[in-house]
Amino acid sequence: MYLGLIDYIVLILLLILSCGTGIYRGYSRSQQVSSKQFLIADGQMKIIPTAMSLLATLKSPASLLGMPVEFYYYGTMLIYCNIVNFDPSIRYTMWNIFISVIFSSTAQYACIQTQAQRYMPAKDTKFAQKVVWTNYVMLVFMHILSLCIRCLLYNKYSQCDPFQPKLFLDEINLSIACMLNATLSTFSSGTNSMATVILEDISKQLTKKHSM
């Protein structure tokens, strides 16, 4: 099964709509906007929008596609990771989940520029901490939703496993739409981060040197 003409038209219209919204907002402003207002909203962002932005940046198509498949193949073992068992040969225990989450969360929330930029609209450190905790609540809800999707998949395809022949055709358009939206959110966060780095660390520094 391949994408048809209508699918490509919808895809192109979606990209044009996203670009057009940004261009319209840029030209429709009645007053000049500073780089601080444009990049970090002048430090006036609220908790919920900032946490949602953090979540959209973290969640990639791989996670949206991988979590339901993980639950589909290996069941709901991840829920029982709070059982204290230090046997490294078992797939999910408190031991390996705790270690993996420490390293992955440290990298995601503290070392990646796309995530660090999400903290910049925060007024202070306490506000940024509230954003992270709110994001964790949303993340738990998303994982529970992934578990529910897995249970629905198992119930629907209990007699026939579509992942074995790599055929999953009855909901292919919906799946592609979800993957595309997740890709655009992550891609836009990376693009905004690169634009910020180029503006602040390269362009402004070169301008200062030439002005001196």
Q: Three-class SS of residue 210?
A: helix
CA distance 13 to 22: 14
Residues 6+ apart with CB under 8 A from 79: 147
Q: Domain for residue 91, yes or no?
A: yes
CA distance 141 to 74: 20
Q: Domain for residue 144, yes or no?
A: yes
Give the CB-side neighbour count of residue 69, counting CA atoms within 13 A. 12
State the Cα angle at 86 between 143 and 132, rounded to 5°.
35
92: left (phi over 0), alpha (psi -120 to 50) or beta: beta
Q: What is the pLDDT along the chain (212 residues), one digit of tens a residue?
A: 566 787 788 778 888 887 888 788 777 766 666 766 777 776 778 888 888 888 877 776 666 666 667 766 776 666 665 666 777 777 667 777 778 778 877 877 777 777 777 777 777 888 888 888 998 898 888 878 877 777 777 777 767 665 555 555 556 666 677 677 777 777 777 777 787 778 778 887 787 776 66
Q: Domain for residue 52, yes or no?
A: yes
Token pair of 173 as six digits:
């358009």
pLDDT, one tens digit per residue, over 122-135 is: 778 888 888 889 98
Q: Domain for residue 16, yes or no?
A: no
Q: Domain for residue 12, yes or no?
A: no
pLDDT, one tens digit per residue, over 49-60 is: 888 888 877 776
Q: Domain for residue 20, yes or no?
A: no
Q: What total number of domains does the chain contain? A: 1
Q: Domain for residue 31, yes or no?
A: no
* Residue span of the structural domain in which 67 resides: 36-172
Q: Domain for residue 1, yes or no?
A: no
